[in-house]
Amino acid sequence: MSQGFDFSIAIGGAAGQGIATPGNILARMFVRRGLHLNAYNAYQSIIRGGHILLTMRVREQEALSHGDHIHLLLCLNQDTMTRHLRHLGPGAYAVYNADNITPGEHQDGVHLCGMPVTELTGDAKNKLAQNTAALGVIAHVLGLDFEVLESALTLQFQRKGEAVVSSNVAVARAGYEYSSANFTPLANPLPQNPDPLAVWTGNDALAMGGAAAGVKFYCAYPMSPSTGVLHWMAKNARELGIMVRQVEDEIGVANMAVGAAHTGARTMCATSGGGFALMTEAIGSAAMMEIPVVFINVMRAGPSTGVPTKTEQGDLWQALGASQGDFERIVVAPQDAHDAFGTIAEVFNLIDRYQCPAIVLSDLLISEGTFSVPPDDIDMSPPIERGKLIRESNGDAGPYNRYLDTADGISPRAVPGVPGHVHVVATDEHDEEGILISDEFTNPIKRRQMVEKRARKLDDYFTRVAAPEVEGDEDAEVTLVGWGSTAGVIAEAMEQLQADGVKVNRLAVKWILPFHAEAVTEALSGARKTLIIENNHSGQFHRYLRSETGITADGHIRKYDGEPFMPHHIADGVRAHLAGDVSGGVFVPDQEILV
Amino acid sequence: MSQGFDFSIAIGGAAGQGIATPGNILARMFVRRGLHLNAYNAYQSIIRGGHILLTMRVREQEALSHGDHIHLLLCLNQDTMTRHLRHLGPGAYAVYNADNITPGEHQDGVHLCGMPVTELTGDAKNKLAQNTAALGVIAHVLGLDFEVLESALTLQFQRKGEAVVSSNVAVARAGYEYSSANFTPLANPLPQNPDPLAVWTGNDALAMGGAAAGVKFYCAYPMSPSTGVLHWMAKNARELGIMVRQVEDEIGVANMAVGAAHTGARTMCATSGGGFALMTEAIGSAAMMEIPVVFINVMRAGPSTGVPTKTEQGDLWQALGASQGDFERIVVAPQDAHDAFGTIAEVFNLIDRYQCPAIVLSDLLISEGTFSVPPDDIDMSPPIERGKLIRESNGDAGPYNRYLDTADGISPRAVPGVPGHVHVVATDEHDEEGILISDEFTNPIKRRQMVEKRARKLDDYFTRVAAPEVEGDEDAEVTLVGWGSTAGVIAEAMEQLQADGVKVNRLAVKWILPFHAEAVTEALSGARKTLIIENNHSGQFHRYLRSETGITADGHIRKYDGEPFMPHHIADGVRAHLAGDVSGGVFVPDQEILV
Amino acid sequence: MTIELREKPLTAKDFKGKVDPDWCPGCGDFALLRATQMSVAELGLSPHQIVCVSGIGCSSNFPGYFNSYGMHTLHGRALAVATGVKMANQTLTVLVTGGDGDGYGIGGNHFTHTARRNVDLTYLVMNNQIYGLTTGQVSPSSSLGMKTKSTPFGNIERPVNPITSAIMNGATYVGRGFSGNIKQLVRLIKGAIEHPGFAVIDVFSPCVTFNRDNTYDFFRQRVAPLEDEGHDPSDWKSACERAMEWDDRIYTGLFYQDQAVQSLHAREPILDGGAPPVSHVPEAITREQRDRIVRRMM
Amino acid sequence: MTIELREKPLTAKDFKGKVDPDWCPGCGDFALLRATQMSVAELGLSPHQIVCVSGIGCSSNFPGYFNSYGMHTLHGRALAVATGVKMANQTLTVLVTGGDGDGYGIGGNHFTHTARRNVDLTYLVMNNQIYGLTTGQVSPSSSLGMKTKSTPFGNIERPVNPITSAIMNGATYVGRGFSGNIKQLVRLIKGAIEHPGFAVIDVFSPCVTFNRDNTYDFFRQRVAPLEDEGHDPSDWKSACERAMEWDDRIYTGLFYQDQAVQSLHAREPILDGGAPPVSHVPEAITREQRDRIVRRMM
Ligand SMILES: Cc1ncc(C[n+]2csc(CCOP(=O)(O)OP(=O)(O)O)c2C)c(N)n1
Ligand SMILES: Cc1ncc(C[n+]2csc(CCOP(=O)(O)OP(=O)(O)O)c2C)c(N)n1
Ligand code: SF4
Ligand code: SF4
Ligand SMILES: [Mg+2]
Ligand SMILES: [Mg+2]
């Protein structure tokens, strides 16, 4: 907040009121100016009605969370006004259609910007006119020239023809002019950074990470909040030569993925908790057959169907316990969209090396959030290392054992079609040749050999994957530990605490399994007070951290109401913990903005 | 071993050679004499061929494991002789058909009891004659009157008619007489205890526990080693009025069980790891809808299809991580067949009280083992407490809220059909009335309320379920910690160690989740050296113990070759640990008897 | 409000649920809801005698809008749960409501096996040929070539035919309705509830938000009630043949019925001779039962 | 032993796997194994060109006994895995082998959807009307009344009819064989492999250990080859009708074939015009592709 422009616009209304369009137009306008964006959309599992609140934070600096405040509230219905006007502080704006929305009690200094929409547009029937008029008001309040908005509108509507463009431009202009005549613009108008940014969602980033890593087979069954990955893949399939299949269920997805991966195609699929539950058996099978596949679980609030449009970090133990028996796999929880993009390529190289499945834990906050990204950061040519893969005949006529017990546990992996390498992979325990050990005599010695061979594959894992590090103040009073998507909001909470003079640092864990137990123990050994921050009820990460290191945290900040942390929730929790004000060790912030 | 008669008979041959029949006859003979039995059958996942070794330990005292030794080896084929003759010590017997099996090198003092089967029976074609003749030899060697065997044979074959009985009796008699003429019987013949015992498998015990608890709906999809529960249920269904359904897959099983349980019937189902993976989504749904169902997972060696006929304690984390999100459930791992029987009734009372699912972790060792049981211990009228269940109209015409937010978190549960209590249960998050919170407005306050209501249900759990206790020497050098099926074999290892002068005690954990963290921490606080014993590779229980208590064990004894621990494996491991002889902290015994 | 205390017969209104549907205005599912409410009222059923089981989807929100016992279960699993309900308490009237994705996609295996078992359920599928709740992906009943968010270049998988599939799998009452014809729907639903076996009604229930191809208009131009065709519902071949027609003429009505096949609970030996439901028999087993079992173990 | 180096044509023997079958002596599965080995040899295929995918069951042990690439996957999932294999590398010949429980029980949903997609696979089901590997429980194709370990009082669920079900779900080559007639099996299998779409052959493969009802004798007394009947495989109605006969006469042979329907990979836009398999195209995307994507994000 201290550094430069930092402004949050919230657009509220019901499903079906067309919130997405003004949201998109504003987002494009902001990133074209080189401003950073972090947008969170709070919505319900219905197609019409309910209450949606899209919060778009725009910032000169990187925006690591959707922030704490609403500086401008666009109310598309009375409900939004009623719910949120009280969250506006002095200097904030409420923009609304004065024809049918009335403001209520509010703090001093709030700018009430009622628009006489029917009068402005001369059209009482067009329900979407208020949205466009409001864009005019917002552009004016932000200190933009109308041309900036005009060209954004043109771009947005050009597919729909000239008439749509010009009528929208006219309505927006009326709003802009009305605002110029009646409302006070921001003292510090919207700045401009030199380099324009791009915009993506976390699901776009996951999909693009896959495309960059060379995914050539993607299959899925739709499930919120993971469906965006499928949509991106489907849209870009033809251009990129990616085979995209929608399958009858998640069991089919996971097994089809195993089949495709076995042929040599880099293969990925995504789902959410319930679909992931159905995939678990196949994940174990991939591990036993030693086939690399990426399974993405985009977490939403559970248990069971739960709250399909709300976020949670509730599937950690499901990922850890996916499928029976002990087996090799990688579990990783990216920290934001940008990180998700890069993680996918990294994970593919790892699983091609180790010939095992990977589970990527994203969540609704990352996956459905909209974020700016510097276009040059989108490196879609990462190194591609496929490990001991044999896709073409190498002229080697010697005997081929798929599960050769090598020193590093990793066996050369031939795909079907290669002459001279015919073999059978099996989910039953097998010997080096791939013959089932229970076929004739279930040899305990061979069994033990194969368990140990597979386990050995990951021996050099920690030399290849970066351990998490403590970041922030050196001699901190308090160390905040998070995992996955809370990294950014924790960083912002730290800024707030540091501004208050609290010395604080952070350990943000991303690579979950195998766990960097030594590095984490070392990192936390100097911590004076360790607080764990999790978006779930039971402290799943804390229990896992303890299972791997024995470390017991000093306190917890948890949230399990479906909404993500805002920075002040964490900062408040830290303050309460430091003040010794937390009974039972767990601070649970209240969600003030009821979305 | 020190106390009284303790004798192990092993019968080895190929699948299809009819090992079960002599096994059954001997088992019945033993338990009718009031002797204890613990039998482990090592077999393969094939219907014919392979190598089967049935080890039957018969003891005056309770037999807590299948023991360490073979005192009499009945070889039905050469393979068995070749594999196992070397495991016989002085005084042990090898019984075999001398017509086609030749003994090899052996220790001094082994009694080689070759039977000239064709000569004895006058029939070169009856492949099963050797089995019956061997029973005659064994009866003689054990010092039994022939009449005891004769009546056992009569009972076994009477369904097949007089001719079959008399021909079998004749062959057995020939064996008995040949043995009397040629072999030395045991110095201490088979004793007789006053009260006859009964015999069951662990799967019988699980099924009977269900029947006793009032299970009226049982459904399953066959999967080794859990199928015995289905077979027991199917056989006894009609007599006990239990509805038994075989379903198209485990997903159908789990969901059908949820439906039946919701109507008010006590409902149970059983499977193994792979089927359990498919059930997990439904387990989460039962928790969210607050419907009590018992899900049994009989563990076998994994991962994936793994070694279907071999044992392992490898699905602990799968049980802990079953389904997405945080939710209430009970996980329990019975310690033997007897315990399994009683646990089922206890668990049903708990889940009816707490309105949540339970996961019972058995394993192949318990479920497919054959054990003696004192008939009076089979109390099939345990207390049945169904909690806040409403199955009949109570005339109460007031409003009914299925998910009423009561002080203890437990809401009165009406089943369909009761007038005045109409409601909808849902896997989506809902309010007290059962209305979906995402239906109109996803209220974070209601969400939090419902999460906390459900979590509160288990608040008094620890007052109702016994905490594990340390048993054995007071001031022990070493404390052995196990869970589930290793309780018995650990106890026997302790006897061996104590006989050697090692002071040792044991903590055998059965109730897994919720975990008695305080009690266990307290119990282990005085331990001088803690060793954890697990039948898996990765130390699943150790990691879980640490996640709940922070306790790090001093060492481990693990086995993951598919075979169960024998007492000396553990005793050897303890000695090695005490001698500081274990590199890496994990002692892995060799499986000497290759079965 | 129980059947015992009731003075005057219930009407469709009495089957309104606790909340109003949140379906999009114009969604085809409203019609099926209304038709079901009318049907159960006309049959004289009371809310507590009915259990309405659904999976997940727009259509699967049905139980929340319908006044009866309800279970809103997992995506694709409604038939499995409903079989558990019906078999554990055969005195209940069990309706199953859901979507095409729920029933023919992820739930396909339960559909097949429920049909061959002839479980006495009434299965109402709101077939909008799209995944509605997940905002418009291809469904197993989407037509070839259909463009959706997951098939932007057109669907390349031939659609299932729920009618022929239900008939060949063993369902004993198979009909097709259309949200544009409530009268026919009521006829079909009443027949289905009264039918003692597995009754499937596939209902064209247009998704006005995501399916631009299979609209009310599309169907209005094509639907032809079988009632007008002298169709004989005992003739499976003609039923299948008519069910396969799609282009110009799409038949609705009762395609197939076989009353001779016993339902699963009628065949179940432990329910012989009108035994009480297992949900309500005493849990405890008798001393004699126990002794017989233990004797066999000795 | 690769196709390039080969001097003389391969014979059935060359398709013997690394181990001998551990099936019970007399098990029907031996015949199908032999017939498949003969078929691929006669078609001139090499082991490395074939992938044989199975689930779990006695019959599913097939790939271990057959010399080709093989995947012995999860119970019920063979068709899903095989679809992944075929679609990722359409140049491979993909056989799927398994049991009735595997295919029609737990695997039923994949069966339905693989059929409607017309994936170019050859699916050989060793139907013994029992669960063999788990030692004899009822299967979805067990006859009514059959006594098994899980139905000691007799099966009360009507069996599936794999032939009518395959036809109605969209399989484009549907046959039935019998382990007692290897010649016919070879004809059927060769036709299935050559057929460009989803080919299903349901094979009566007696389980001599657990099924005492459906024995070799049972079938020998009843089987009637369709070849002798002048059956027209393009006529689905007659195919279904004949497939439903069971009591005295049970038809075997090719029931149905439709060569007009394109297979899934033939319809797949990204494989247009003989594109190479996605399993073997370079992973890296081009700078131009990247730039086009990023431009759309700005
Ligand atoms: C296991 C699982 N997978 C996916 C989903 C996501 N999901 C919810 S509804 C739905 C499909 C809805 O389509 P349909 O059944 O046709 O119902 P409609 O919304 O069209 O009425 C899907 C895929 C889920 N809830 N659970
Ligand atoms: C998920 C899962 N459920 C159950 C099993 C156990 N299982 C193995 S094979 C089999 C059925 C075998 O029957 P079928 O498919 O007809 O093959 P058959 O042995 O008769 O050839 C079952 C239930 C399993 N391996 N995986
Ligand atoms: S999205 Fe379609 S199916 Fe869902 S409520 Fe709206 S119109 Fe109905
Ligand atoms: S049990 Fe039956 S199916 Fe299995 S191998 Fe033996 S005969 Fe064949
Ligand atoms: Mg639909
Ligand atoms: Mg079978």
pLDDT average, residue stretch B435-439: 87
Q: Is the pLDDT of residue A459 over 70?
A: yes
Q: Is the pLDDT of residue D162 over 60?
A: yes
pLDDT average, residue stretch B532-558: 98
Q: Band of the pLDDT at A122, cuts 50, 70, 90?
A: confident
Q: Residue A268, SS3? A: strand
Q: Does A323 touch chain B (CB under 8 A)?
A: yes
Q: Does A241 touch chain C (CB under 8 A)?
A: no
Q: What integer pLDDT is reported at residue D1 of this predicted model? A: 37
Q: What integer pLDDT is reported at residue D196 of this predicted model? A: 97
To the nearest whole percent, how much of chain D has pLDDT over 90? 96
Q: Where does ligand 3 bind, in terms of residues with CB under 6 Å?
A: A 47; C 23-24, 27, 29, 58, 128, 132, 207-210
The one-letter code for the residue type at D93 is: T
Residue A479 forms beta bridges with which residues? A505, A530
Q: Is the pLDDT of residue B362 over 60?
A: yes
Q: What integer pLDDT is reported at residue D274 of this predicted model? A: 86
Which one of 1.20.120.520, 3.20.20.70, 3.30.2320.50, 3.40.50.920 gives the CATH number of domain B467-587?
3.40.50.920
Q: Smallest Cβ distance to D24: which of B47, B235, B238?
A: B47
Q: Band of the pLDDT at B3, cuts 50, 70, 90?
A: low
Q: Smallest Cβ distance to A326: which of B314, B442, B546?
A: B314
pLDDT average, residue stretch D81-91: 98
Which one of 3.40.50.970, 2.60.40.2550, 3.90.1150.200, 1.10.8.60 gives the CATH number of domain D12-273?
3.40.50.970
CA atoms within 13 A on the CB side of A539: 21
Distance C15 CA to ligand 5 centre (A): 24
Residues whose CB is less than 8 angstroms from the CB of residue B161 and which lie 6 or more positions away in sequence, other chains included: none
Cβ distance D168 to C163 under 8 Å? no
| Burial annotation B433-446 (CB, 10 A radius, 16+ → b, else e) | ebbbbbbbbbbbeb
Q: What is the pLDDT of residues D5-40, one digit of tens each?
A: 556 789 999 999 999 999 999 999 999 999 999 999
CATH number for the domain formed by residue range(s) B200-377 = 3.40.50.970
Q: What integer pLDDT is reported at residue B397 of this predicted model? A: 66
Q: What is the pLDDT of residues B58-89, one digit of tens each?
A: 999 999 999 999 999 999 999 999 999 999 99
Q: What is the pLDDT of residues A134-186, one digit of tens each?
A: 999 999 999 999 999 999 999 999 999 999 999 999 999 999 999 999 999 99
pLDDT average, residue stretch B403-419: 98
Q: Is the pLDDT of residue C174 over 80?
A: yes
D110 with A252: Cβ contact below 8 A: yes
**Which H, E and C letters describe chain D, residue by residue?**
CCCCCCCCCCCHHHHECCCCCCCCCCCCHHHHHHHHHHHHHHCCCCHHHEEEEECCCCHHHHHHHECCEEEECCCCCHHHHHHHHHHHCCCCEEEEEEEHHHHHHHCHHHHHHHHHHCCCCEEEEEECCCECCCCCECCCCCCCCCCCCCCCCCCCCCCCCHHHHHHHHCCCEEEEEECCCHHHHHHHHHHHHHCCCCEEEEEECCCCCCCCCCCHHHHHCCEEEHHHHCCCCCCHHHHHHHHHCCCCCEEEEEEEECCCCCCHHHHCHHHCCCCCCCCCCCCCCCHHHHHHHHHHCC
Q: Whose CA is nearest to atom 6 of ligand 4?
A: D24
Quick check: pTM over 0.80? Answer: yes
Q: Does C75 touch chain A (CB under 8 A)?
A: yes
pLDDT average, residue stretch C273-288: 95
For residue A556 the two structure tokens come to 């917890």
Ligand nearest to the CA of C129: 5
pLDDT average, residue stretch D175-197: 98
Q: What integer pLDDT is reported at residue A397 of this predicted model? A: 66
Q: What integer pLDDT is reported at residue A394 of this predicted model? A: 78
Its sign, for the CA torsion B515, B519, B520, B525, is positive
pLDDT average, residue stretch B146-156: 95
Q: Is the pLDDT of residue A3 over 90?
A: no
Q: Band of the pLDDT at A50, cuts 50, 70, 90?
A: confident
Give the residue range(s) of CATH 3.40.50.970 domains in chain B.
200-377
Q: Where does ligand 1 bind, in terms of residues with CB under 6 Å?
A: A 221-223, 250, 274-275, 278, 305; C 56-59, 75, 98-102, 126, 128, 130-134, 139
d(CA C298, CA D5): 67
Q: What integer pLDDT is reported at residue C2 of this predicted model? A: 41
When the pLDDT of each residue in chain C is averaged and rounded to a whole number, the result is: 96
Cβ distance B435 to B443 under 8 Å? no
Q: What integer pLDDT is reported at residue D3 of this predicted model? A: 45
Chain B hits for D106, CB-CB cut-off 8 Å, are: 221, 248-250
pLDDT average, residue stretch D183-209: 98
Q: Is the pLDDT of residue A568 over 60?
A: yes
Q: What integer pLDDT is reported at residue A148 of this predicted model? A: 95
Q: Is the peptide bond before B303 cis (omega within 30 degrees of 0)?
A: yes
C137 with A246: Cβ contact below 8 A: yes
Looking at A252-256, A508-512, B395-399, B570-574, which range is the least confident one? B395-399
Give the residue range(s) of CATH 3.40.920.10 domains in chain B.
6-182
**B6-182: in CATH 3.40.920.10:** yes
pLDDT average, residue stretch B513-536: 97
Q: Is the pLDDT of residue C273 over 90?
A: no
Q: Is the pLDDT of residue A580 over 70?
A: yes
Q: Smallest Cβ distance to B440: which of C4, C22, C82?
A: C22
Q: Band of the pLDDT at C3, cuts 50, 70, 90?
A: very low
For residue B595 the two structure tokens come to 């079965």
Q: What integer pLDDT is reported at residue D2 of this predicted model? A: 41
* Nearest chain D residue to C152, by CA: D269
To the nearest whole percent, how much of chain B has pLDDT over 90? 94
Q: What integer pLDDT is reported at residue B393 of this predicted model? A: 87
pLDDT average, residue stretch A391-411: 91
Interface mutation vs chain A, best among C79, C142, C150, most A CBs within 10 Å: C150
The contacts found for A125-131 with CB under 8 angstroms, 24 or more apart, are: A127/A17, A127/A18, A128/A18, A128/A21, A129/A171, A130/A76, A130/A97, A131/A17, A131/A18, A131/A19, A131/A21, A131/A22, A131/A76
Q: What is the pLDDT of residues A71-112, one digit of tens each?
A: 999 999 999 999 999 999 999 999 999 999 999 999 999 999
Q: Does C295 touch chain D (CB under 8 A)?
A: no
For residue A525 the two structure tokens come to 């050994």
Give the residue range(s) of CATH 3.40.50.920 domains in chain B.
467-587
Distance C212 CA to ligand 1 centre (A): 19
Q: Is the pLDDT of residue B111 over 50?
A: yes
The ipTM value here is 0.98
Q: Does C255 touch chain A (CB under 8 A)?
A: no
